[in-house]
Structure formats: C-alpha cells, structure tokens
C-alpha cells in the first residue's frame, strides 16, 4: 500500500493517494453545490485511457470517501468524443483524440458508432507539453536579459516574474502575431525594466523540434493498427496546449484537413463527462448510455 508521510504541526500524518484525491473531489463537489444550489450525491468521472482496473477502483474510492455515488468511470478520450457530439453520428467513424496539456501528450484512436466506443490504439509522451514550450521561451528571455544588462538574473522573485511573463506571453501569441514583454527587474535596480517584442514566428522557431514531436505518437498509433491517415474521419483536440496555432497547423497539414476545434480544448473532457451524466440521468437526447467496449490496448510510451 502506497502512503505519503507528511508533518503538520509536528504531527506525522500518513495519507494514501485516494485520501488525497478525495480532498480534491470534495472541493469540486462543494464548488458544484454552490453553483447549483443543490446537493451533489452522484457523479460520473473520467480517467486516462491507460488506467488499469486497480487505478479506476481507487479513483472511485476517492469519490466515495466524500459521500459520492460513482455511476460510471469513462476514459478521457471517450469523454472528449462525447463533448464533440461524435456519439450522435450513426455511421462508424475513426476518431483521433490528441490531448496536449501542460506536461504530457496522449494520442488515442477510437472507433465510434452510435454511442459505442472502442479504443483501437494509444501512444503518448509523458515529457512533452506546455511547460516545455515555456522553458524554451524562458531560457531565451534570460539569455536576452544577460546580454542586455551584462549580468545573469539570479534573484528568485525576478525569475518568478519572468516565468509568469512567459506564460502570459505564450497565451498572447495564440491570438497575436507579436506581443510586448515588460518585466520589472527589482534586483537590478528600483526602476530597471526589461522590455522586448517577441513574435509568434520566433516562439515557433524556439520550439520547432518540440512541435514536430507532437506528430510522433500520432504516426505511431496509425502504424500500430495499419490505418492510413486518410481514413481518420475526425481529429479532435484536448488540452490547453492544442490552442497553439503551430500545433494545429502541423496536425492539419499531416492529415490534410483541419482538426475539429468547435469545443474549448480545456473543457472538452469535463463537458464530455457532463454529457455522459446527462445521458445516464435521462436529460440528454440519447436513449442508450454511451458504452466503452472492453479492450486490452496498451499505451505506447514515446520519449
């Protein structure tokens, strides 16, 4: 049994993962109740597609510790497909789900037909995401500061200001071709400010090799089941890092068609889980609950 040992007010606490998880679930429960003005007693949850039965059971246990009844646990790619409404199409479809978040990349290929979901293949990179793109930009700015002021920035608070500035900069570049950077450097002097302009093309050049890595698990999944890319009917995007224009461009160029971006990628999984809950509760226009067919597919890890 895995336990985490913590010291709180000189008292040793031993906590299991499901107990820590229950704190997060409980916070979500109370937030939902505050917005709904009604008690929440039942829940549908999503987990990474590669979770095994033990991991799924502990996810359920985390919820049950808060008094919630778990109706169903579904895979995150299935939830994303539900959010995009792909369960409503009667014909069989091959759906590629590309999930690029802050630190990981997961790619899944699903067969979807009228509420039936089958995971065909999975691949991913657990060391690729928005944080990596940020780091390239962060190091670039630190080099510029060192060149401009002829000294290295080492002050922790100023370094944190740069990190925050980098995140805001990356977000701005998703909708703008260039953006101004203004970062006060208190350790260099009370009135010292670093100013520059970063372009989207500059950001893309800094991360060129990392962006290309996004295609590797996509190609791996297709090769695993010997499916031509032309036979992928829908490409749906999940995770905040799929907002980056270059990521969308590379995926679109590879498949010869634009990915489906009709749903907020950061909310897609949550929306899909809500759709599943609505189906189970009889509030969604689908007579039969979405069903995930059993599969023994293992996720292929790519470094």
Query: What residues have CB less than 8 Å from 219, skipping those under 6 apart?
Result: none
Last residue of some domain: 154, 186, 208? 208
Task: Tell me 260's DSSP state.
Answer: B
Element of type H or E holding 34: helix 17-36
Residues 116, 230 share a domain: yes
The neighbour count for residue 288, using CB atoms within 10 Å, is: 10
CATH code, 106 = 3.30.420.40
Q: According to the model, what pLDDT value does residue 289 have?
A: 60
Task: Answer yes or no: do 165 and 90 share one domain.
Answer: no
In this prediction the pTM is 0.91
Q: Which residues pair with 107 in a beta bridge?
A: 98, 123
Same domain, 35 and 122: yes
Question: Which carries the bigger pLDDT value, residue 255 or residue 281?
Answer: 255
Give the residue from 208, 225, 248 where a domain finishes. Answer: 208
Q: List the single range of 41-50, 58-67, 109-118, 219-228 with lowest mean pLDDT.
A: 109-118
Contact (CB, 8 A) for 128 and 105 = yes
Contact (Cβ atoms closer than 8 angstroms) between residue 101 and residue 242: no
Residues 172 and 226 occupy one common structural domain: no
CATH of the domain at 162: 3.90.640.10
Query: Could you tell me if 53 and 193 lie in one domain?
Result: no
- pLDDT range class, residue 1, cuts 50, 70, 90: low
Tell me how many domains the chain contains.
2
pLDDT given for residue 246 in this prediction: 98
Is residue 21 domain-shared with residue 115, that is, in the same domain?
A: yes
Give the range of the structural domain holding residue 148, as residue numbers without chain letter: 130-208
* Segment 95-107, tens digit of pLDDT: 999 999 999 999 9
Same structural domain, 121 and 220: yes
pLDDT tops 90 at residue 5: no
**Is the model's pLDDT at 284 over the cut of 80?**
no
Tens of pLDDT, residues 252-269:
999 999 999 999 999 999
pLDDT band at 285 (very low <50, low <70, confident <90, very high): low
Q: What pLDDT is recorded for position 172?
A: 96
Residue 115 banded pLDDT, cuts 50, 70, 90: confident
Cα distances from 65 to residues 17, 59, 72, 176, 201, in angstroms, run 12, 10, 16, 45, 49
């Amino acid at each position: 049994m895995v336990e985490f040992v913590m010291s709180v007010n000189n008292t040793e606490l031993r906590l299991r993962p499901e107990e820590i998880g229950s704190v997060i679930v409980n916070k979500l429960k109370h937030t939902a109740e505050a917005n709904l003005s009604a008690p929440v007693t039942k829940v549908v949850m999503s987990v990474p597609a590669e979770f095994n039965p033990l991991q799924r059971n502990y996810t359920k246990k985390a919820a049950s510790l808060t008094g919630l009844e778990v109706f169903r646990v579904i895979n995150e790619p299935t939830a994303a497909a539900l959010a995009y409404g792909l369960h409503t199409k009667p014909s069989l479809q091959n759906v590629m789900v590309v999930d690029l978040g802050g630190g990981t990349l997961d790619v899944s290929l699903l067969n979807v037909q009228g509420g039936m979901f089958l995971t065909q293949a999975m691949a991913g990179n657990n060391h690729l995401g928005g944080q990596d793109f940020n780091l390239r930009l962060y190091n670039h700015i630190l080099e510029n500061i060192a060149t401009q002021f002829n000294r290295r920035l080492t002050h922790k608070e100023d370094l944190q200001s740069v990190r925050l500035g980098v995140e805001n900069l990356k977000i701005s570049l998703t909708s703008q071709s260039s953006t101004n950077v203004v970062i006060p450097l208190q350790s260099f002097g009370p009135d010292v400010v670093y100013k520059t302009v970063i372009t989207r093309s500059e950001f893309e050049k800094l991360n060129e090799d990392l962006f290309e890595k996004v295609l590797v698990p996509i190609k791996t999944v297709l090769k695993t089941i010997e499916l031509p890319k032309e036979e992928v009917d829908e490409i749906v995007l999940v995770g905040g890092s799929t907002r980056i224009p270059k990521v969308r461009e590379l995926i679109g160029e590879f498949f010869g068609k634009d990915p489906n971006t009709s749903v907020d990628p950061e909310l897609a999984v949550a929306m899909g889980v809500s759709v599943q809950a609505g189906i189970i509760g009889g509030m969604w226009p689908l007579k039969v609950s979405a069903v995930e067919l059993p599969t023994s597919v293992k996720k292929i890890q790519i470094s």
